[in-house]
Amino acid sequence: MKKIYVLFAILCIARIGYSQIAYQENFSAGTMPTTYTLYCDTQTTYYTNWQNKAWVVMNKLDAADTNNYVAATTSYFAYGVKTADRWMITPTITIPTGTSYILSWRSRNILGMYKDILKVNISTGGVAKTDFSTNLYTGAEDSAAWMVHNISLSSYAGQNIHLAFIDQSTDMFVLMVDDIKVATTGGVNESNSELASISIYPNPVNDVLNITSNSKIKTLKVINAIGQEIFNENINSKNFVVNTSLYIKGIYFVQIETLNGKITKKFVVNK
């Protein structure tokens, strides 16, 4: 009986700060999950790996981690400049009520001079392309390192959702996605609370977007809804103000890098 009490105490302690996970996929099985929905364009790919396959699971090509797999797609086609339309859609994910959940993932491009633009859209209905009318993220991914993204799903509490990872780039190269996770805390590479403490306000914004962080911000980028980088600056401060007075009305993303990692936040210019 004493052992049971001890085990119960250990389990209770272990649950302190426990991240409640609604969904996660790291492609470690080495194959595309059968629960995923894929839509592929009709382009002829330069590499046969992707012919008639929207996304494939492959080794992530990091010498230090050769046994890890990622989902990858391409917009590099034979017979001239072409535009991709390649979709990877998750199975149904149920977002519980009463707690704020965060979508996190990692992504990167292979070549710095050829940056595919990743789109992440969300559906609260089916898995047809037309169901994904809401965009959560659009950005040209880094090639030097994996970029960590975290998007709040608090407005989807109590709903069933699907997530679509989309490449509609023109004549770029190879885009990778890994470690998709929907959880209450503990986004990818965020075991500490520093990144989670970063605030942007007001949101929606008219003229001035304030950004505050507990640790110094190294770099800050602003990307518009079609993936264009419209601001990029070294900051070296815990606070920064982005002048949005000349931004047109719409959705934007701010990518913030500190010594603790990177985080992406969505904001809306409302004027």
DSSP conformation letters of 113-160 = TB-PEEEEEEESS-SSGGG--EEEEEEEPPSSSPEEEEEE-GGGTT-E
Per-residue pLDDT tens, the chain, 271 aa: give them. 443 333 333 333 333 345 689 999 999 999 999 999 999 999 999 888 888 999 999 987 654 555 589 999 999 999 889 999 999 999 999 999 987 888 999 898 888 788 899 999 999 999 999 999 999 898 888 776 788 888 888 889 999 999 999 999 999 999 999 999 999 864 444 434 566 678 899 999 999 999 998 888 988 988 887 777 899 999 999 999 999 999 999 888 888 888 777 777 888 898 7
Separation CA 169–CA 76 (nearest Å): 9
Separation CA 201–CA 213 (nearest Å): 12
Would you put residue 254 in left (φ > 0), alpha (ψ -120 to 50) or beta?
beta
Q: What is the pLDDT of residues 114-149, one digit of tens each?
A: 889 999 999 999 999 999 999 989 888 877 678 888
Widest CA span of the chain, in angstroms?
Answer: 73
Please give the torsion angle defined by the CA atoms of residues 215, 217, 218 and 224, in that order, rounded to the nearest 10 degrees.
Answer: 150
- 204 cis-preceded (ω within 30 degrees of 0): yes
Domains and CATH numbers, the chain: 19-183 (2.60.120.200), 199-269 (2.60.40.3080)
Residues 6+ apart with CB under 8 A from 66: 59
Judge contact between 24 and 183, C-beta under 8 A. Answer: yes
Q: Is the dihedral of CA 209, 210, 213, 218 positive or negative?
A: positive
Which pair of tokens denotes residue 66? 């050769």
Does this model's pTM top 0.85? no
The SS3 assignment for 70 reads strand
| Degrees to nearest 5, angle at CA 220 with 215 and 223 | 145
Least Cα distance to 182 among 262, 122, 95 occurs for 95
Residues 6+ apart with CB under 8 A from 160: 92, 93, 94, 95, 124
